Amino acid sequence: MERLRALLKQINGRGYKAYKQLAGCYRFNGYDLAIDHVQGDPFAQPSRISIRVSPAYLCLPAEYYKSKIRKTATEDFLARAVNRAIAEHVKGHRGIGKSGEFRIETSGQQILVRNALLIDGEAVEARLTAGLPAAGRTILSRDAEEMFFTELPAVVAQALCFEHLDKKLLQHHVESSEDQDYLRTQLHKHKLVAFVADHSLLPRESGIDDHPLGGEAIRFMTPESLACTLTLPNRGAVRGMGIPQGVTLIVGGGFHGKSTLLHALERGIYNHIPGDGRELVATDASAVKVRAEDNRAVSHIDISPFIDRLPFDRDTRSFCSENASGSTSQAANIMEAVADDCTLLLIDEDTSATNFMIRDERMQQLVARDKEPITPFLHRVRQLFDELGISTVIVMGGSGDYFEVSDTVIMMDSYKPVDVTRKAHALVGHGKPARTPVDDLPAMVKKKVPSPVRERLNPARGRKQVSIEARGIDTLLYGRYEIDLAKVEQLIDIGQTRAIGLMIHYYATHYADKSDDLGTSLKLVLKDVEDKGLDILSPWKTGTLALPRLHEVAAAINRIRE
């Protein structure tokens, strides 16, 4: 501790690179401070520090980390507590660049597995970035001393000492997460793919603001015919709408809440923080939102169940394209999800290719089937469930043809769900059949996605042997490739994008030659990460990673352009 103070006094007023002398570990009252990496310039990425709090100082009861889900929730709560304490105690901007700032990575409305704060046995390690202060490129030691000896101890005392935490909020945070995780595991037992509890608040502030809508937002209420009650370990009995396995349509007029419900189901694969409004919206953990994705790269995907008989005998059993169309990209997205062991597809008519979803009776009469390479999703959706056990939830506002293949039809009326299944099925018998017979369609078979050759996953770029960078959530720079993830809609955090880049490199190094099936190899990568932690992905200590699912990692690899 005093050694750090002495070093700061020695380098005061010197050039910025003299800060490099601070790298090392220092003992403070109740915790150790490690300065793991020192930035070389005030405009460079901030320095990385870690704080290891002793069990005697923290005094965290074992009940908060006795299971994996409780440990993750407690780590999330403590990281958010550190973030709040930084906002309260840290002065911030001193000098140029990011001088004077402390920062810890936290999640938004979801609770993710991260490596920003780790419970290690009875101790806790928090990983922050620190902008070491400078005027120009001249060291400001007095400001740095205030950061390390006044502000940081206050942050640690407020956020990483159990005595000073709000224990009721911590307990609620952990038990809420435990209930959500348990709820998700109970879906299959009850033959459900999703559950939305009564009084859930689904509307968001905006398309770019994931916070719950304030004011007089309408709470969710379950139609009696779809109501079920599930019992959770902490909250007890919870009533809500169960969406059964099979083919479910969400219908209704524009602006009545169809897409809002689907969006909540998309995010139902994650646990949410208390107060989000979607804490008791749970969706099958393997659920994948699929859509049309014009111009995406597709490499060696069998899309023949949906697209075949292309002109000039172009092969669709190993389809490749640098710029796929809406229909071919949506077919590829579905077949990739199937290969990743998805058991629930989420589809919105508004973001789908029309010719992929439906061909009406008149068009079928005008264009002979042997002249149309697209087999509409309408003709395959039942096969997906009956033959592969893959359910589908579709927002459908413009075509009643799907009534014929549906098991459940939910109408959203002013943000209130109404079960209109019987009425929709009664309409099927009025008039001619909506679709041509499909008895001659081949069976739906899950096809593996081939592993790319190792050379294709070389992360080198220019003079850098490894160049991996996330530019926002939607863009991953991997070696010489720029991977567009904007349409991978269940990717929600830049920490996940960073982890995906490192996981691709880990896969290329350890498993690329182990199997010709991409999904099988990526499962081995995910198991390593789950067993050993996110730290195995990075050659240096960092707190900026969050765990993605297998589907999102595979989606990134599948979008690499040749």
Domain count across the chain: 3
Indicate whether 425 belongs to any domain.
yes
Indicate whether 110 belongs to any domain.
yes
**505 shares a domain with 426:** no
> Do the beta carbons of residue 16 and residue 137 sit within 8 Å?
yes
The string of pLDDT tens digits covering residues 282-307 is 999 999 999 999 999 999 999 999 99
What is the predicted pLDDT for the residue at 433? 46
What is the predicted pLDDT for the residue at 96? 85
Indicate whether 184 belongs to any domain.
no
What is the predicted pLDDT for the residue at 443? 82
> Do the beta carbons of residue 324 and residue 332 sit within 8 Å?
yes
Indicate whether 234 belongs to any domain.
no
- Distance separating alpha carbons of residues 31 and 522, to the nearest angstrom: 38
Question: What residues in the chain have per-residue pLDDT under 50?
Answer: 431-434, 436-437
Tell me which of 399, 423, 447 is where a domain ends.
447
**422 shares a domain with 274:** yes
For 238, residues 6+ apart whose C-beta sits below 8 A from its C-beta are 183, 197, 198, 229, 230, 231, 232, 280
Closest CA to 520 of 511, 509, 529: 511
What is the predicted pLDDT for the residue at 440? 66
What is the predicted pLDDT for the residue at 432? 45
Whether this model's pTM surpasses 0.85:
yes
Indicate whether 220 belongs to any domain.
no
Residues forming a β-bridge with 189: none
**467 shares a domain with 440:** no
Tell me which of 402, 423, 447 is where a domain ends.
447
- Distance separating alpha carbons of residues 192 and 391, to the nearest angstrom: 10
**355 shares a domain with 484:** no
**442 shares a domain with 486:** no
What is the predicted pLDDT for the residue at 417? 97
The string of pLDDT tens digits covering residues 504-556 is 999 999 999 888 899 999 999 999 999 999 999 999 999 999 999 999 999 99
- Distance separating alpha carbons of residues 163 and 72, to the nearest angstrom: 20
**522 shares a domain with 389:** no
Indicate whether 235 belongs to any domain.
no
What is the predicted pLDDT for the residue at 309? 76
**442 shares a domain with 305:** yes
What is the predicted pLDDT for the residue at 33? 98
Indicate whether 178 belongs to any domain.
no
**551 shares a domain with 419:** no
CATH code: domain of residue 299: 3.40.50
**535 shares a domain with 486:** yes
CB count in 10 Å sphere of residue 560: 18
What is the predicted pLDDT for the residue at 398? 81
Tell me which of 425, 447, 469 is where a domain ends.
447
**459 shares a domain with 322:** no
**416 shares a domain with 308:** yes
For 151, residues 6+ apart whose C-beta sits below 8 A from its C-beta are 89, 90, 91, 102
- List the domain range (segments joined by +) for residue 280: 245-447
**146 shares a domain with 295:** no
Indicate whether 137 belongs to any domain.
yes
